[in-house]
Amino acid sequence: MSTVVITLKGAALQKLIKTFNSQQVASKNPYITFAAKVDKVMISVYTSGKVVFQGEKAEEVAKYFGYQAPDASIQTAPAGQKLALIGSDEVGNGSYFGGLAVVASFVTPDKHALLRKLGVDDSKRLTDANIRKIAPILKQEIPHRALLLSPKKYNQVVGAGKQYNAVSVKVALHNQAIYLLLKDGFKPQKIVIDAFTSQQNYQKYVKQEVNQFDNPLTLEEKAEGEYLAVAVSSIIARDLFLDYLDQLSQKIGYPLPSGAGQKSDFIASQILKTHGMAGLAETAKLHFANTKKAQELLRKGN
């Protein structure tokens, strides 16, 4: 099955919808505004304007709406990632508020054109708004496993005298996400994690985990820019982190910022004032220095 992604707007998009209106099918995906099944090709129109064609004749149908097949002679990926890859990345580690999201994704070379069309290779330059538009397509197209450690659970297991520290908890989450993908039957030729610690440190901590696998893996710095599989995981993880941050904001009654700056200190002090330490433990990673700063702000009456 092939997949084609194009961007349509205005009259061109309306033409597609009008053409396939009689073949429209229902979709439960909130980011899909129109879906149709045509000659064994599934057509999905996303809120971002991206149109995804899936099926054996995806390219043939997409050509009627301006799609041009890429030149096969053009190299589309660095030699190092012309493999079936599992790439893993985490988001939320540097943010005081919100959970810790870890995603492992399985990407094969036949998906590279799709990912580049979506802009995944430029993921570091994507805004949060763009990430939230792209992530639903990636979730549908790319096999992945996503894990989210809530602040409440994080505070229970991370810290002095507890089961994990700030590094070993990430090792545990990456290991579990990759383990679950392998258990699903995917067979990568390489496994890459965006480096957050040394290879030696990772191996030391991973020995403590119940679930183990024999596949070799590497930790590489700036892997998000080198491997599409890692970039995919980064985007899905960021989307997961942001969604959960929104949920926590609604629950606690304050707009929780991403990051760990002065704004976080002030919001934390207000949460302490209205909800106490229990409220902060539900929304923030307490071992961050922001906790003491928030307590000091509250003491000073700010």
Binding-site residues, in ranges, read 89-90, 194
Query: Using an 8 Å Cβ cutoff, are 93 and 101 in contact?
Result: no
In the β-sheet with 100-107, what is the strand arrangement from edge to edge? 144-149, 100-107, 85-91, 190-194, 218-220
How far is the C-alpha of 76 from the C-alpha of 72, rounded, in Å? 9
Strand partners, 6: 51
Select from 212, 191, 217, 202 the least CA-distant residue to 169.
202
What are the distances in angstroms from CA 300 to CA 76, 174, 263, 269, 288?
57, 41, 16, 10, 20
Binding-site residues for a divalent metal cation sit at: 89-90, 194
Select from 54, 55, 43 the least CA-distant residue to 19.
43
Query: Using an 8 Å Cβ cutoff, are 59 and 117 in contact?
Result: no
Select from 212, 142, 202 the least CA-distant residue to 176.
212
